[in-house]
Amino acid sequence: MVIFSGIQPTGRKHLGNYIGAILQYVEGQDRGEPAIYCIVDLHATTVAYDPAELRRRSQDTAALLVAAGLDPARCVLFRQGDVPEHSELTWLLSSVIPLGVLNRMHQFRDKSVAQREMVSSGLLFYPVLMAADVLAYRAHEVPVGEDQREHIEVMRDAAETFNKRFGETLVVPRGNIPTVGARVRDLQEPERKMSTTGGTPRGRVYVDEEPAAIIKKFKSAQTDSGREIVRGDDKPGITNLIEILAVVRGTAPAAIEHDFEGSGYGDFKLAVGEEVAAWLAPVRERYLELREDTDAIEGFLAEGAAKAQAIAAPVLADVREAMGVGPVRRAP
């Protein structure tokens, strides 16, 4: 089974990124045959950005993934812009992805409204590039957060439409969305997801943040009416904290409720903050060591790009042949 997922290099990675995506990457690297993980720098060009910062953030993201447990020798870890097959397949897939679908995407509507400058056509085409990222490797499983469900449907529909029109060529992937922690909430505004660009600064916990700062943010987290440590639709703040601690402990949310039965919100928030800080501390320390060795980072990214291209190039050749693009491919 081929596993593929991509991660944005924009901004520092927060707890939602870590629980919703990075943990899945680490878990999948020994299940995938292969497991392929991509730092999607091409996606990052769809909004305003600084070129030098994009390069640095791509390296930082690679360092964080390795610090979290990814091993470039056991998976394929690369930078999207280093494999040109992604760009070409994006254009070819545009023939089977309707414009109306792109116009209706929640991400496009939300980001285009938030744009203070030009809304790029790349932002509209974002789901097509994302589909190309996955379909180029004939991936079966795509580890993503809950907010990416809509994009999974686009790529599935694209593969099915392509196969019906041009013959069985692409694999129809499925999303792998975690059942616990799929959408980590902002600590100050728990009705919203934790986000790099949205939400609140005090409600966002970074993976590389100082332990004392993490604990302080959890101590000041917004909670709900009452005192019981139980989940509920009317308790988004406490539910968020219960699910976070369940992930940290590797247990079920019900076990957290049982362990803290009779506790008050203050004691519970402190406990969650201390355990999250301790849980992230080794990753933070390893990341700070790795991020300065840019030569090593570029080295393993280049090796990963070569592995990725060796997989994607034959798929793209099959797509071109099926679509009648270029000369007839001669038998080897």
Q: Looking at residue 8, what is its pLDDT?
A: 92
- 201-289: CATH number: 1.10.240.10
pLDDT band, very low/low/confident/very high, at 81 (cuts 50, 70, 90): very high
Q: What residues does each domain of the chain span? A: 3-181+294-323, 201-289
Q: How far apart are CA 70 and CA 282, in angstroms?
A: 14
Flag whether pLDDT at 114 surpasses 70.
Answer: no
Average pLDDT, integer, range 105-116? 66
The CATH number corresponding to 3-181+294-323 among 3.40.50.620, 3.50.50.60, 3.40.50.720, 3.20.20.70 equals 3.40.50.620
The percentage of residues in the chain with a pLDDT greater than 90, rounded to a whole number, is 78
Q: Looking at residue 57, what is its pLDDT?
A: 95
Nearest to 23 by CA among 68, 72, 78: 68
- List, for residues 30-66, the tens digit of each pLDDT value: 999 999 999 999 999 988 889 999 999 999 999 999 9
- List, for residues 143-189, the tens digit of each pLDDT value: 987 778 899 999 999 999 999 999 999 999 999 887 766 679 999 99
Q: Looking at residue 118, what is its pLDDT?
A: 65
Q: How far apart are CA 23 and CA 309, in angstroms?
A: 25
- List, for residues 198-243, the tens digit of each pLDDT value: 778 999 999 999 999 999 999 999 988 888 899 998 899 999 999 9
Q: Looking at residue 111, what is its pLDDT?
A: 63
Flag whether pLDDT at 269 surpasses 70.
Answer: yes
